[in-house]
Structure 1
Amino acid sequence: MPASLNSYLLPILLLIGSNIFMTFAWYGHLKYTDRPLWGVVLASWGIAFFEYCLQVPANRYGVQVYSPAQLKGMQEIITLLVFAGFSISYLGAAVKWNHIAGFVLIVVAAFLIFLE
């Protein structure tokens, strides 16, 4: 029986959600450099718990319609998109031409993973 559209979309949506949590866990504390390191480590672990609550099901459901390599390729592209948006909107950091060029090369690499 062919997979439904939801079988393809659910892993992507879960990966987007998990990457939002992980980006905050890894980089959100950079706005609060006056806080003690042990405190931001604990806060990051707490946020990362929710990332895992989405990442694990994304991979479990995703492997039914995608290969593990395809899931990883998707995860990398989603990570870049989420990070770029986060970096600009939350951290106020500029995205420069070399960042974009590097991201494009990673997108090309992920595209190659999907070739069968």
Structure 2
Amino acid sequence: MFNLGSFLSPQIAPFVLLLLSNVFMTFAWYGHLKFKSAPLLLVILVSWGIAFFEYCMAVPANRIGSEVYSAAQLKTIQEVITLSVFAVFSVLYLKEPLGWNHLVGFSLIAGGAYFIFHEF
């Protein structure tokens, strides 16, 4: 069976896989907003199909990453990547600008990640 861990270290693999996973997840959850006239059932089925590939990357990311990161750290990595991917997606795909308030909010969340990765 394919083992990504043999190509990437357990420290790096979660970041790569979660980045890819979040691209799929963002399209599954928000990509349909450009197709508001599409039937809801069709949108749900297409989104579910896209989400399958998201899971195919998220599950190994967490399994490999658990060798070196705690569950809380893995979740924090995922959330910061999610916000980063969503910000780019929102501007480039949905053509929705991000305001200063979005950037401040995202920065506060990213700042919170600091405390997850440091023991005091």
TM over 0.5: yes
State the match for 2:111 in structure 1.
108
Which residue does the alignment assign to 1:12?
15
Instruction: Tell me the TM-score normalized by structure 2.
Output: 0.91
Aligned to 1:39: 42
Identity of aligned residues (%): 60
2:57 aligns to what? 54
Structure 1 residue 99 corresponds to structure 2 residue 102: yes
How many correspondences in the alignment? 112
How far apart, in 2, do the equivalents of 1:80 and 1:90 lie?
15
CA deviation vs aligned residue, 1:26-69 (integer Å, no higher than 9, x gap): 00000000101110000000000000000000000000011111
One-letter identity of the residue aligned with 2:62: N
Return the TM-score normalized by structure 1.
0.94
Structure 1 runs (4+) deviating above 4 angstroms are none
Structure 2 stretches lacking a partner, 5+ long: 1-7
- Between Structure 1 and Structure 2, the one with more helix by share is 1
Whole-angstrom CA distance in 2 between matches of 1:73 and 1:30: 26
CA distance in structure 1 between the aligned counterparts of 2:21 and 2:78, rounded to whole angstroms: 10
RMSD of equivalent CA atoms: 0.9
Inter-partner Cα distance in structure 2 for 1:63 and 1:44 = 28
Residue 86 of structure 1 aligns with an amino acid whose one-letter code is F
TM-superposed CA distance for 1:110, in Å, is 1.1
Deviates more, 1:6-15 or 1:50-59: 6-15
* 1:84 aligned residue: 87
- Residue identity matched to 2:20: G
Q: Which runs of 5+ in 1 are unaligned?
A: none
**Other structure's SS at 2:38 match:** coil
Aligned counterparts of 1:29 and 1:111: Cα–Cα separation in 2: 33
Give distance in 2, aligned partners of 1:7 and 1:38.
39
Q: CA deviation at 1:7?
A: 1.7
* Separation (CA, whole Å) in 2 of partners of 1:7 and 1:51: 19
